[in-house]
Structure 1
Amino acid sequence: MAIGVKCDERQEVEMTWFKGANGQVCDSVCADNGFPDGCDKEKMAELTTNEKVAAAFKMAGYTCRSFHGARNYAGTPFSKATPNDDCAPWTAGTPASSINCNANSYGHYAPLCACK
């Protein structure tokens, strides 16, 4: 769990990583874990390398078995829990505003969600 400061409101906020269930959407994952403000798209969009996505999954209690090519569709970053193309980072250069926290493109993808 990371602690940060919301500059515009000058109050402490917590941000935590959670791995959702297959097909789940991040806003539901966050709400289910006590974070009603939903996902943090900016933090999720920072996961543009295998190393970064692996570290965030580890914070969520999951160890990536392998890596999938970077993607920028709903549900990314994600894990497929497969031996050869498990965890996928966000495509570098794609704006955080493109992240959709209310959708998951594939029912067999478990999203990695930054909750705030």
Structure 2
Amino acid sequence: MIHIRFIAADQSHQDIEAAVDQSLMKAAVDANVKGIEADCGGSLTCATCHVMVGAAWAEKLPAATPDELDMLDFAASPVQPTSRLSCQIRLTPELNGLEVHLPASQH
């Protein structure tokens, strides 16, 4: 299990424990993290699992695919340099302690 901190737009946070090798989106949905809507269930056809990865963690992730970057154009909140779709982030042991920021809205 790895530890993840979700930081809301109001700076409140929710800490969860998640299994390795699932998506960040799935871990968030399973833990009822407010702010991750995941309308498409992780099929990369919406942008309602938009997160901003903490700067220290962004370099530990594989680069976003062109499809992910295209889908981020549909995010309801402004996209930041560290914006990602949580459905495209696979949890690995190296991500223990991951911090992600949630946008003010997914819709």
Structure-1-length-normalised TM-score: 0.37
Which of the pair has more CA radius of gyration? 1
Question: Given the two structures, how large is their TM-score scaled by the length of structure 2?
Answer: 0.39
